[in-house]
Structure 1
Amino acid sequence: MRAVVINEYGSKDVLVEQELPKPEIKANQVLVEVYATSINPIDWKLRAGYLKQMLDWSFPIILGWDVAGKIVEVGSEVKAYQVGDEVFARPDTTPEGTYAEFTTVDEELLAKKPSNLSFEEAASIPLAGLTAWQCLVDTTKVKEGDKVLIHAGAGGVGSLAIQMAKHLGAYVATTASETNEAYVKQLGADKFINYRTQNFEEELSDYDVVIDTMGGDILNKGFEVLKPGGRLVTIAGQPDQALAEKHQVTANSYWLTPNGKQLGELGELLEKEIIKPQVGHEFGFSAEQLQKAHELSETHHAKGKIVIKVK
């Protein structure tokens, strides 16, 4: 099968095309023919070598941990799926990712592709969608009437998190550039903060929840907008527990847990159009195209999700 792999850590230029054998499924897995995948920061962070201590794999490594496609083979223990089913998933984090014509997925991580979505739209959802949902629902337990700050509202996670927070009944503030003001308001944001010209910590106060996607100084300043008892979660670093104590709030770092059941629940919201996919950029399936997609993702200025059309 065709795959785009890395054989060493480095810049986007280490992404190369390679012929590899089709992966073999275990009894609890299916083989998915990949129609589309998408780019997430974990892809280029791993490519650059930032995660090699955490994920100590041998080369070649196939990056990519979002998939939408059709099942072409089913393991002997798989109960709920059959050949021909259209599915989407955030597969397990392995060195046999989704920048390939075929990938394996554990049954428990699969969900049926929403019938109203294209494969490209479906591929944009799993990793970013589950991250947003788990941060809002499982970690910070957002409820009706909460005031929620979501950083980088025009990005992959932010553009889904705004919609989810509104669905949960929250009042939503978000940071973005002036070019994306209309976009984040259309997604449902109640208050827009232009991060280039405004300091969000001076504009906002008494918030219940902060969803941080940026890390660094922005993460630290997030504590200042929370009221006592507030909740902060970050997907971009480790929160300072001394600051959390000072502001009398709880703060957690979050790493996504793949979950097919939750993804199926998100699929229902997508079918009802309560949440809409946000595909901002689409690239073809080649080393050159994936290099361009990585370069765009690394700017942190991509609008919505970056999707790769494989088939």
Structure 2
Amino acid sequence: MTDDVISDQHQPLVPNRTVWLDQFGDLDVIALSERPIPQAVDDEVLVRVAAASINPVDWKTAAGEFPPMSADALPFALGRDLSGRIEALGTRAHNMLSVGQRVFAFIDFDRGGQADYVVVKAVELVATPDEIDNATAAALPLAGMTAWQGLFDHGQLQAGQRVLIHGAAGGVGHLAAQLAVWKGATVFATAGSRDLDYVRSLGVERAIDYENERFEDHATDLDLVFDTQGGETQARSFGVLKRGGTLVSTLETDEEKGRELGIRTVPRWLAEPNAAQLGEIAALVAAGTVKVAVAETFGFDRVRDAYAFTKDEHPRGKVVLIMAENE
């Protein structure tokens, strides 16, 4: 044990399975690789991961379709969500943290959360409430931060305003719909036919079947549109916003069209780790105000199946990897 790490346990000697990307390609590039267990130094914490979620950005990254992670960054580990227990603390990582404590986190691009052991910055960690299990905790961070920051930081949503959430049964969308309802907004939400009853259960004003209805017929004079779809859906969304309204998108937007219509656009922004915000959402989940949908769980050894399911099935909510040996 070095002076940089303290723990009341010995450093683990077991393999550290990691979703390690050596090259971009189809899902056949997704595989587990045994990597060295990282060491927690300074203000870092070593977490023994119990569960990690898969987000669309993960398979897009593996395919080379996520520009911030270019070929120059290869090789690297995938995943940005994790839950687990603290295994070791760096010498400056002691504020309210202890070995064995259950935690979860949304981590930055420089590490990967889909591994047995991950080093996390102490400021990124949130204590996992007793009411939240590991799979739920792992499913929450990136999607929750995208929903929260999109609605409140970028969209500036206030109580009493009118908002349209596209893809409200998806990983980000189902959380965005619930957070907007919690805020006191009037919420319209699009979803496929099979998910309409589920989306209605989230408390929205109107669940709109995008397969058989035009959202323009039901959602008008809006203050905010939260878009994760792009394309024609986004183009049509300008028409339902009032002048002075806002279109927030995780994709590129037609900023010139927005200026012509007097609509503020927030294009292709990326959620950022924020433990304080994540803690607020966790409190809402623990209280039962917000419910996290876990569509499916997969054992870590079935990681490629989990990626295929996430990419091809458009699941309701999130897909989570379970590191069974670490439960």
Q: TM-score normalised by the shorter chain: which range applies?
A: over 0.9
* Counterpart mapping for 1:48-127 below 5 A: 48-52=63-67, 54-78=69-93, 79-94=95-110, 96-127=111-142
Question: Which amino acid in structure 2 is aligned with residue 192 of structure 1?
Answer: A
Counterpart of 1:187 (choices 179, 202, 206) is: 202
* Counterpart mapping for 1:252-271 below 5 A: 252-253=266-267, 254-271=269-286
Answer yes or no: is the 8 Å Cα contact 1:108–1:261 preserved in 2.
no
In the TM superposition, residue 55 of structure 1 has moved relative to its aligned partner by 4.3
Answer yes or no: is the 8 Å Cα contact 2:174–2:317 preserved in 1.
yes
Question: Which amino acid in structure 1 is aligned with residue 257 of structure 2?
Answer: L
CA distance in 2, matches of 1:300, 1:77: 44
Question: Which amino acid in structure 2 is aligned with residue 271 of structure 1?
Answer: A
Question: Which amino acid in structure 1 is aligned with residue 105 of structure 2?
Answer: A
Q: What is the match of residue 306 of structure 1?
A: 319
* Counterpart mapping for 1:177-216 below 5 A: 177-216=192-231
Assess, with a 3 A threshold, how the Cα gap between structure 1 residues 14 and 54 changes in structure 2: closer, same or farther.
Answer: closer
CA distance in 1, matches of 2:217, 2:260: 18
2:303 counterpart SS class: helix
Unaligned runs of 5+ in 2: 1-15
2:300 counterpart SS class: coil
Answer yes or no: is the 8 Å Cα contact 1:6–1:14 preserved in 2.
yes
Assess, with a 3 A threshold, how the Cα gap between structure 1 residues 114 and 55 changes in structure 2: closer, same or farther.
Answer: farther
In the TM superposition, residue 199 of structure 1 has moved relative to its aligned partner by 2.0
Q: What is the match of residue 188 of structure 2?
A: 173
Answer yes or no: is the 8 Å Cα contact 1:114–1:270 preserved in 2.
no
CA distance in 2, matches of 1:290, 1:189: 34
CA distance in 2, matches of 1:39, 1:247: 37
In the TM superposition, residue 239 of structure 1 has moved relative to its aligned partner by 1.2
Q: What is the match of residue 30 of structure 1?
A: 45
Question: Which amino acid in structure 2 is aligned with residue 167 of structure 1?
Answer: W
Question: Which amino acid in structure 2 is aligned with residue 267 of structure 1?
Answer: A
In the TM superposition, residue 57 of structure 1 has moved relative to its aligned partner by 4.7
Answer yes or no: is the 8 Å Cα contact 1:132–1:157 preserved in 2.
yes
1:227 counterpart SS class: strand
- Sequence identity (%): 37
Larger Rg: 2
Question: Which amino acid in structure 2 is aligned with residue 258 of structure 1?
Answer: P
Q: What is the match of residue 220 of structure 1?
A: 235
Q: What is the match of residue 246 of structure 1?
A: 260
Question: Which amino acid in structure 1 is aligned with residue 305 of structure 2?
Answer: K
Write out per-residue CA displacement over residues 64-105 of structure 1, whole angstroms, 9 at most, x where no aligned residue: 1000000001111112312111001001112x3022100011
CA distance in 2, matches of 1:201, 1:301: 24
Question: Which amino acid in structure 1 is aligned with residue 182 of structure 2?
Answer: H
In the TM superposition, residue 243 of structure 1 has moved relative to its aligned partner by 1.2
Answer yes or no: is the 8 Å Cα contact 2:61–2:69 preserved in 1.
no
2:40 is aligned with 1:14: no
Answer yes or no: is the 8 Å Cα contact 1:28–1:106 preserved in 2.
yes
Answer yes or no: is the 8 Å Cα contact 2:53–2:79 preserved in 1.
yes
In the TM superposition, residue 306 of structure 1 has moved relative to its aligned partner by 0.7
TM-score, scaled relative to structure 2:
0.90
CA distance in 2, matches of 1:157, 1:201: 22
1:187 counterpart SS class: coil
In the TM superposition, residue 264 of structure 1 has moved relative to its aligned partner by 1.1
CA distance in 1, matches of 2:158, 2:292: 23
CA distance in 1, matches of 2:156, 2:44: 32
Unaligned runs of 5+ in 1: none
Question: Which amino acid in structure 1 is aligned with residue 254 of structure 2?
Answer: D
Which segment is superposed worse, 198-207 or 23-32?
Answer: 198-207
2:304 is aligned with 1:291: yes
